[in-house]
Structure 1
Amino acid sequence: MSTPDTTEDAVRELLLVMPRLVGRIKRLPLPEQLRSLELAPRHLSLLSLLLLDGPLAVSQLAEKLGVAPTTVSLIVSDLSRKGVLVRREDDADRRRRIIDISPESRPVIAEWLSPGADAWRHALTPLSPAQQRIVVDTLLRYETAFSAATHSAPEDG
């Protein structure tokens, strides 16, 4: 892998790697136990947070996901009915509910999401914390720019 000489070289390289990356992620087989759940990307993000950070309150999940608490509540309700998530009272505040992955679902979800987390660890570990922040910030800026570009583009038809 060579170092890009210009921004255009870097863009070219990224435009080649991104479809391969997305294709590999899409081909990651969903475990048999999760196939009937109709999981969407928002479910994946929530499950990843709970797997990496442990049990969290709805408000904490909403803040980390950047969505409204009502959106998280709907996802949690859906996945709780399906036995993937469990809710319990917060010992410190009985009005709050703490959300976690059910003990039955945790091993299969961990096995399913581990390749992605392990690949990021492999890619980021050689970098300094400042360099890691640059990678994350760059991906976030790309997401924002891509979203803005696709939402402002005129529709065909």
Structure 2
Amino acid sequence: MSTSVDDAVRTLLLLMPRMVGRAKRTPPPPELASFNLAPRHLSLLSYLLLEGALGVGELAARLEVAPATVSLMVGDLSRKGVLRRREDDADRRRTIVSIAPEHHAAIDGWLGRGAAAWRVALGPLSDEQRALVVSTLLAFERALGADAD
């Protein structure tokens, strides 16, 4: 299948707003609605959902933000009962963060749908093709950011 750059751009210009709109129309489940979760919380929760418990430093590196920023988000969500914090038994200076068991199913039902959809879309591709999709989306994001500067 051959598609010109302009044909691909036209298709994506129609597709991207539909994808964003669908994501925005997926509200948090009722048991999480009162927590006023912001987009930055969704990325943090997604990592914890996919990876399991992680240290604050690991979360900061994956989210590409300062550890202090993650500590603030974790503190906020811990006070609300969404997350659990504990000391690492091997290194008492390290804080391990996980989704509170009582909210895990709701978060999985909510955010897990997106991960499952990406698995369906990316699963049939080779490693190289998946890398191309990801690098293309990252390049698109950088190009949008360059326009804003």
Letter in 1 for 2:45: L
Gaps of 5+ in 1: 153-157
Could you give the per-residue CA deviations for residues 64-102 of structure 1, whole angstroms, max 9, x where no partner exists? 000000000000000000000000010110111100001
Q: Does 1:17 align with 2:15?
A: yes
For 2:89, the aligned partner's letter is D
Q: Which residue among 83, 88, 95 is the counterpart of 1:85?
A: 83
Q: Does 1:52 align with 2:50?
A: yes
Q: Is the contact between residue 4 and residue 10 of structure 1 (CA under 8 Å) also seen in structure 2?
A: no
Give the superposition deviation at 1:4. 5.3
Letter in 2 for 1:102: A
> Which of residues 99, 119, 123 in structure 2 aligns to 1:125?
123
Q: Alpha-carbon deviations, 1:117-155, whole Å to 9, x = none? A: 111000001100110011011111111111221x23xxx
Cα distance in 2, alignment partners of residues 36 and 148 from structure 1: 36
Aligned residues: 149
Q: Which residue of 1 aligns with 2:64?
A: 66
CA–CA distance in structure 2, aligned partners of residues 105 and 77 of structure 1: 16
**Structure 1: 4+ residue segments shifted above 6 A:** none
Report the alpha carbon displacement of residue 8 of structure 1 after superposing the two structures with TM.
1.1
Hey, what does 2:105 align to over in structure 1?
A: 107
Query: For 2:85, what is the secondary structure of its paired residue?
Result: strand
User: What fraction of aligned residue pairs are identical, expressed as a percent?
Assistant: 60
Question: Could you tell me which of 74, 77, 80 is aligned with 1:76?
Answer: 74
Mapped to 2, the partners of 1:34 and 1:93 lie a distance apart of: 32
Aligned-residue CA RMSD (Å): 1.0
Quick one: distance in 2 between partners of 1:96 and 1:74?
15
Q: Which runs of 5+ in 2 are unaligned?
A: none
Measure, in 1, the Cα distance between the counterparts of 2:27 and 2:100.
Answer: 21
Correspondence for 1:40:
38
